[in-house]
Chains A and B, each alone.
Chain A
Amino acid sequence: MGKTALVVDDSPTMRQMVAFTLTKAGFKVVEAEHGKDAVNKASAGPKMDIVVTDLNMPEMDGISLIKELRKMAAFKFTPILMLTTESAIEKKQAGKEAGATGWIVKPFNPEVMLKIIAKVLPA
């Protein structure tokens, strides 16, 4: 059975690009446009195997989303990857402290993204 990924980004283009890459790799993708939307979909939707989230978003940013997800029993050990720019060192650190598993640098190379996902996903 294919795995399910929650993709969170306020930019429709970025969301589409991540969803396209993951769908091609066999994932079922659930899209959310900001943190609040993601929390709603995470609590109501199917079990997620991985979360890929942007950091700068309206309503609820990526760091707050990670904190919220880590409070939920279903997301205690789910890999959460942040989509961030090379220069955002402080944000990466803040994300790690909030409970993120790792990060993917934007603009991302699809092959690199899939390699990182394969590394963090439990076998």
Chain B
Amino acid sequence: MRDTRGLGRHTTAGSEASEFIVLKAHQQAWETFAACAVSMIPVLKKQMEAVTQQTQRAATDLMTHISALTLADETSRSTETAAHLSQIVMTMQFQDITQQKLEHVAQALDQWDKHLQALLKGPQDENAKQEIAALQRLEQSYTWKRSVASMQRLWRRTIKSQCRLKRSRQKRT
């Protein structure tokens, strides 16, 4: 007769190992996301600051040209008016520039939203698995930052406590 006493222990160790791999992948996906967010936030902030500056500049320029239009005397009116109108038309296009900058910010936020939703579903969800794989590919293009280290520690603790919890449950049964 075959001895099957050790089989249960092997199966438990195997499932624990595969669970660890899944959790590790999930942890890496979170780390990649965090690294991506940390590097992107200053870029997005700059975009938004540029929008504010552009708007302020446009408002000031418009006021200057409108004031000049109202103050121009009859003799110089036609040529000066044309020049000021041209400048006003050029300045008014700030809206197109600021719209593009804000669209970039919105695109980045949408991407983060998608990543976060997938990551929050957990490593067993099919969409999350795909998202995790995509984030792992992203990993290569980002360098690890110190701020990620705290998240790594947190995840290691979570994995260890989950493994401990599982072992104690198995002992009880």
Listed in ascending order, the chain A residues whose CB lies under 8 Å from chain B are 11, 13-14, 17, 20-21, 106-111
Contact = CB atoms under 8 A, between A and B. Distances in A.
Given A11-B95, A13-B96, 8 more contacts: A13-B92, A13-B95, A106-B96, A106-B97, A107-B90, A107-B93, A110-B86, A110-B90
A81 B118 CA distance: 43
Interface of B: 85-86, 89-90, 92-97, 99
A17 B85 CA distance: 11
Say whether chain A's binding surface is mostly helix, strand, loop, or mixed.
Answer: helix
Contacts, number: 34
A21 B94 CA distance: 16
B96 A14 contact: yes
B65 to A, nearest CB: 13
Given A11-B99, A107-B97, A17 B86 contact: no
B169 to A, nearest CB: 53
Q: Which of A11, A20, A107 has the most CB of B within 10 A?
A: A107
Contact of A108 (B90, B95, B99): B90
Say whether chain B's binding surface is mostly helix, strand, loop, or mixed.
Answer: helix
A17 B99 contact: no
B86 A14 contact: no
Contact of A110 (B89, B94, B99): B89
A53 B94 CA distance: 18
A117 B97 CA distance: 23
Nearest to B95: A13
A109 B96 contact: no
B52 to A, nearest CB: 18
Contacts of A17: 89, 92-93
Contacts of A111: 86
A107 B86 contact: no
A108 B88 CA distance: 11
Contacts of B94: 107
24 contacts: A11-B96, A11-B99, A13-B93, A13-B95, A13-B96, A14-B93, A14-B96, A17-B89, A17-B93, A20-B89, A21-B89, A106-B93, A106-B96, A107-B90, A107-B93, A107-B94, A107-B96, A107-B97, A108-B90, A108-B93, A109-B90, A110-B89, A110-B90, A111-B86
A118 to B, nearest CB: 16
Nearest to B86: A110
Task: In the A-B complex, list the 3 residue pairs whose CB atoms are closest, starting with the nearest.
Answer: A107-B93, A13-B95, A110-B86
Nearest to A9: B96
Contacts of A108: 89-90, 93
Q: Which of B94, B95, B96 has the most CB of A within 10 A?
A: B96
